Chains A and B, each alone.
Chain A
Amino acid sequence: MKKPSVDESSLEMSDELRAYLDTFPVFTDEDRAALAKAAEKLEDDLEFQADLLKMRFLEQIMQRMAALGISRSRLARLWKKTRQYVSGILDREKPKNFTFQTAAELAHLLGCRVEICVVAQKAVFRGTEYRMLGRASSPLILWSAPVASDCGEAREDFQGFEPRKLARKSATEHGSLSVAA
């Protein structure tokens, strides 16, 4: 049941909210810079990137299930797996690793297919083409080489690119990261 709002047509702030906001410091440009730095670090956090990919895939699967009205039990029956197995994939706090085969099977069961693109770090998808972040006017030129990804970029977008090292995690770091959602 919807609770009545404080006053939906007033700009008057309640004392409770005012007192609450007083507990926050002003958000400064230094704070913004620190947050931007934290965001930048995520670009190199491959465990974070992998979890995000899995979560995005699973979210799309759940959207499709909802649209088709398919429950987990029904999906399990269609897939000839146990419901526990399906829940193990969909529900885990930290997404489970699964193979392309599993992803393809899941999508196929829901009348879909999986597309995978490898794009430049800052590539932005716009309608039917990829553009670079901050360069709204110039669509990316496809590589002419047939072996390249069909969502490739102009060679110039890789100028100055230096391969990033895969950081090896110490046992302690790995332990602490294992609790990440």
Chain B
Amino acid sequence: MPYTLEDITEVDERYETAWKVKALSLADERMPHASKSPALSCLAAWARRSPANYKAIVKVLRIAASANPRVANEKQVKKGAEYPHIYEARAHTLKARLMFFYDEAEATIICLDGYEKGSGDQTQAFRRADHLRNLYLEFKKRNRS
């Protein structure tokens, strides 16, 4: 399954002074020209039905893009306790969470998936994000060698 990185239009060069911000996209094996991106799908869903959550997450992503080396405010970005490579961008006091990791080699924040607090298992969301991260890094390594 090929993995690609897509732009997140909400975070452009104006904000990417420390990190580029991208979303992981996975091509569907049954439809090679179609792809799925849990992170972009979550953003799109929040933009459609929950503007407050959408705006809060975009603000945090813009701050993360310019925060060197990392976002200091834990109310905005929190590191996974059990999966230390995975971070969540938080719509503080709201429900949206967007999971990402820092690809240091490419100076890129890679958004993996989203979830909503109160609906779903947070640990499972972190585990899935960690799995996606490992798959992407392994894919990248194999395609370089």
Question: A interface vs B, CB < 8 Å?
Answer: 1-3, 5-11, 13-14, 16-17, 20-21, 24-28, 31-32, 34-36, 38-39, 42, 45, 48, 51-52, 55-56, 58-59, 62-63, 65-66, 90-91, 93, 122-125, 133, 176-177, 179-181
Q: Is the CB of B82 within 8 A of A3?
A: yes
Instruction: Give the Cβ gap from B91 to chain A, nearest Cβ, in Å.
Output: 5
- Min CB gap B59→A, angstroms: 5
If A11-B139, A27-B35, A59-B63 touch, whether A17 touches B14 (CB-CB below 8 Å) is no
Tell whether A52 pairs with B35 under 8 Å between CB atoms, given A58-B73, A93-B93, A181-B91.
no
Contact of B55 among A48, A62, A123 (CB under 8 A): A48
Residues of B within 8 A of A181 (CB): 52, 55-56, 59, 91-94
As a 0/1 sequence over residues 80 to 117 of chain B, the CB contacts with chain A under 8 angstroms (1 = contact) are 00111000000111100000000000000000000000
Question: Are A17 and B132 within 8 A (Cβ)?
Answer: yes
Q: How large is the interface on B (under 10, 10 to 19, 20 to 34, 35 or more residues)?
A: 35 or more
When C-beta atoms are compared, the residue in chain B nearest to A36 turns out to be B9
Quick check: B130 and A5 within 8 Å, CB to CB? yes
A-B contact pairs, 25 of them (CB 8 A): A2-B82, A2-B84, A3-B83, A8-B138, A9-B138, A10-B138, A11-B135, A13-B135, A27-B36, A27-B37, A27-B40, A31-B44, A34-B48, A36-B9, A38-B44, A39-B10, A55-B63, A56-B62, A59-B76, A62-B73, A63-B68, A93-B93, A177-B52, A180-B51, A181-B56
Q: Is the CB of B38 within 8 A of A24?
A: yes
